Amino acid sequence: MELLNILLLIFIIICAVAVSLTKNLFTSIVIFMSQSLAMSVIWLLLESPDLAVTEAAVGAGITSLLLFVTLKKIHAIDQQKKGAAQHGTDQE
Amino acid sequence: MARIRNDYENSWWPRLLRWLETGSSALDDRMEEEMEATHEGHLLPSPEEIAAQEAKREERIQRKLSDELALYTHAHQWSRTKGAKLADWAYRILAVVICLAIIFLLLQTASFLPSFGSPDNPAHNEVSRRYIEKGMEETGAVNIVAGMILDYRAFDTLGESNVLFVAACSVLILLRLSSDKKDLSSVHQLEMEADDRMYEPKNDIILQKVSTLLVPIILLYGVYGVMNGHISPGGGFSGGAVMGAGLILYLNAFGFKKAQRFFTFPVFQAVSACALTFYALSKAYSFFTGANHLPSFISPGTPGNLFSAGLIPYLNIAVGLVVCCTMYAFYTHFRKGDM
């Protein structure tokens, strides 16, 4: 159990660093989601299951959904896809 | 006694009116006359003179412009090559130094914190002992957390629900489209719908089948969490968030048209307002009786029963409804500014 705790904490730190280092906004939201999920497992291990449920529902679920919708509304996903496609053709 | 004015013509109001009408006073007229008299004999400069002056002026402007350009390019060259390098170095070094300083400060502070889970921590005082020992018989809630947040500290929870409500209000103010957009042509509405669902599978069979299976379970789990908040882990906020997530899944699978059959804006308004009012009124009642040592008809009941713990299950339902409606309203307003 101790080992699992340590692994989860290391995972959270890695996720937190990776969110700020990723250039792609879509990827960073997915990393943020996984960080929230690991956090909810940690809440469970700290014997507060109600917080774990809340973290999984709000942190991993609704917050990232709202972020995805916002990305779509400001056409960030669209532009990044276009940019990646152009980049790919340039390399070819 | 008021002074009676006899010469109305010389009082300030007619004078102001006269000044407004004529645009000038006698003094101004005289000044203008004098100025015209002095300019009488002055000849206008000849066209050649004007041209020479213009040319001189042009030349001066050109020289100043070129000077400025040289200075500008010099400065920019410096900032692009040497200055940029220096700023880059300074930025990197400062970033590292500031980060290290903050990390050091935080770790230093953390080293003074009491060790985790130790029995002589300052948090383990008579307050928490009282909650743990007498919480169940005073509130009737088996789940001590529910007893704490909805009975001992119900005022905090009321504030939290209101914060959520205010957040929903601000989202509505920011993102809600005005109602005069509703009478747009159906073609435009269809276009907007297509743009809205550009990256989503429209009427996706897998999503629909999975959500017919999952949405009832998710909603049931949310209702279970809300109803059993005083018996088992869970409670208003987490159960409400789960219910909201279930509703959002339903909306994504089946579209706005089907979700609007049971969840529209008036429903949101009515449910949120009623739940918050119920919470405030019931807590006002229990605070009033509790503060004045009055007998209250709310009894803790048998701990462990579904309908026990006094007001806690009903407060849990109120909080759960507010949270569920708010989450759903957030999502729909982010999506299309309407419900």
Comparing CA positions, the residue from B314, B307, B325 lying closest to residue B285 is B314
C-alpha A45: how far from its chain's center?
21
Same domain, B220 and B85: no
- DSSP for B268-335, please give it: HHHHHHHHHHHHHHHHHHHHHHHHTT---S----STTSSS-STTHHHHHHHHHHHHHHHHHHHHHHHH
Percent of chain A past pLDDT 90, that is, above it, reads 28
Residue B75: per-residue pLDDT: 76
Q: Chain B neighbours among A 25-84 (CB < 8 Å)?
A: 48-51, 53-54, 57-58, 61-62, 65-66, 69-70, 72-73, 77-78
Q: Is B198 on the interface with A (CB under 8 A)?
A: yes
User: How much is the average pLDDT of A27-33?
Assistant: 91
Dist CA B152 CA B146 (whole Å): 9
Same domain, B236 and B319: yes
Side chain identity, residue A83: G
Given a cut of 50, whether residue B277 has pLDDT beyond it is yes
Residue B145: per-residue pLDDT: 78
Residue A68: per-residue pLDDT: 86
Task: Place A91 in a pLDDT band, splitting at 50, 70 and 90.
Answer: very low
Helix (H) or strand (E) holding B113: none
Given a cut of 60, whether residue A87 has pLDDT beyond it is no
Residue B1: per-residue pLDDT: 47
Residue A85: per-residue pLDDT: 59
Q: Do A50 and B245 touch (CB under 8 A)?
A: no
Residue B188: per-residue pLDDT: 67
Q: Across the A/B interface, how many CB contacts are shorter than 8 Å?
A: 49
Q: Are B229 and B309 in contact (CB under 8 A)?
A: no
Q: Which residue has the higher pLDDT, B155 or B197?
A: B155
User: How high is the mean pLDDT of chain A?
Assistant: 82
ipTM of the complex: 0.79
Residue B102: per-residue pLDDT: 96
Same domain, B87 and B229: no
- Pull the structure tokens for residue A51: 């917080």
Q: Helices B312-336 and A64-73, interaxial angle, to 10°?
A: 20
* CA distances in angstroms from B286 to B131, B155, B290, listed in the order given: 18, 11, 6
Q: What is the total count of domains within chain B?
A: 2
Residues of B in contact with A51 (CB under 8 A): 238
DSSP state for residue A1 in the 8-state scheme: -
Given a cut of 70, whether residue B28 has pLDDT beyond it is no
Residue B2: per-residue pLDDT: 52
Percent of chain B past pLDDT 90, that is, above it, reads 11
User: How much is the average pLDDT of A65-91?
Assistant: 68
Task: Place B184 in a pLDDT band, splitting at 50, 70 and 90.
Answer: low
Residues of A in contact with B244 (CB under 8 A): 57, 62
**Gyration radius from chain B CA atoms:** 38
Same domain, B286 and B175: yes
Same domain, B137 and B279: yes
- Give the nearest partner residue to B238 out of A54, A69, A77, using CB atoms: A54
Query: What tens digit of pLDDT does each residue of B125-150 get?
Result: 777 777 777 777 777 777 777 777 77
Same domain, B165 and B267: yes
DSSP state for residue B2 in the 8-state scheme: P
Matching residue, tokens 């009832």: B216
Q: Which segment, B57-61, B84-88, B112-116, is predicted with the most confidence on average?
A: B57-61
Same domain, B130 and B95: no
Residue B162: per-residue pLDDT: 84
Dist CA A70 CA B70 (whole Å): 46
Residue A92: per-residue pLDDT: 39
Closest residue, chain B, to A46 (C-alpha): B117
In a domain, B81, yes or no: yes
Given a cut of 90, whether residue A76 has pLDDT beyond it is no
Q: Do B245 and A53 touch (CB under 8 A)?
A: no
Task: Place A90 in a pLDDT band, splitting at 50, 70 and 90.
Answer: very low
Query: What tens digit of pLDDT does each residue of B32-50 get?
Result: 677 666 655 556 667 888 8
What is the domain range of residue B206?
A: 126-290+303-336
User: How much is the average pLDDT of A9-25?
Assistant: 90
Percent of chain B past pLDDT 70, that is, above it, reads 79
Task: Place B5 in a pLDDT band, splitting at 50, 70 and 90.
Answer: low
Residue B189: per-residue pLDDT: 66
- DSSP for B27-81, please give it: HHHHHHHHHHHHHTTPPPPPHHHHHHHHHHHHHHHHHHHHHHHHHHHHHHHHIII
Residue B202: per-residue pLDDT: 67
Given a cut of 60, whether residue B92 has pLDDT beyond it is yes
Q: Do B330 and A61 touch (CB under 8 A)?
A: no
Residue B117: per-residue pLDDT: 72
CA dihedral B98, B101, B107, B112 (to 10 degrees): -130
Residue A35: per-residue pLDDT: 92
User: How high is the mean pLDDT of chain B?
Assistant: 79
Residue from A43, A66, A67, A77 whose CB has the most chain B CBs within 10 Å, to mutate: A66
- Give the nearest partner residue to A54 out of B237, B248, B334, using CB atoms: B237
Same domain, B312 and B256: yes
Residues of A in contact with B241 (CB under 8 A): 53-54, 57-58, 61-62
Same domain, B170 and B240: yes
- Give the nearest partner residue to A69 out of B233, B237, B334, using CB atoms: B334
Same domain, B151 and B203: yes
Dist CA B331 CA B322 (whole Å): 14
Residues of B in contact with A78 (CB under 8 A): 198
